[in-house]
């Protein structure tokens, strides 16, 4: 991608973003849950029983975003 899908004019570093993808592949007996940042190994890749797909998902997404933010150039982060 050459530019973000949702550009925001928020000062220096505007347009930098952490791209996190959450996929839930629902199978006949269980589901596979995948949380990943674009182009990097999955932060979470688990097989779960039906009805438990969302357990702990917020924590995994938060961790993926925090790791992605830590990798942005210093000038792109707001302290």
| Residue 26 parent element (H or E) | strand 20-26
Question: Edge-to-edge strands of the sheet including 30-37?
Answer: 20-26, 30-37, 44-49
Question: In sequence order, what are the residues at sequence separation of 6 or more whose Cβ sits closer than 8 angstroms to the Cβ of residue 14?
Answer: 7, 8
Q: Are 37 and 13 in contact (CB under 8 A)?
A: no
In whole angstroms, what is the distance from residue 52 CA to residue 71 CA?
Answer: 31
Q: What is the pLDDT of residue 41?
A: 85
Q: What is the pLDDT of residue 26?
A: 94
Give tens-digit pLDDT for 2-14.
666 666 666 665 6
Structure confidence at residue 76 as a pLDDT band (50, 70, 90): very low
């Amino acid at each position: 991608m050459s530019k973000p899908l949702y550009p925001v004019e928020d000062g220096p570093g505007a347009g930098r973003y952490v791209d996190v993808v959450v996929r839930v592949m629902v199978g006949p007996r269980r589901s596979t849950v995948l949380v990943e940042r674009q182009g990097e190994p999955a932060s979470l890749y688990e097989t779960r029983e039906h009805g438990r797909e969302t357990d702990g998902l917020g924590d995994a997404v938060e961790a993926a975003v925090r790791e992605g933010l830590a990798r942005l150039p210093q000038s792109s982060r707001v302290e």
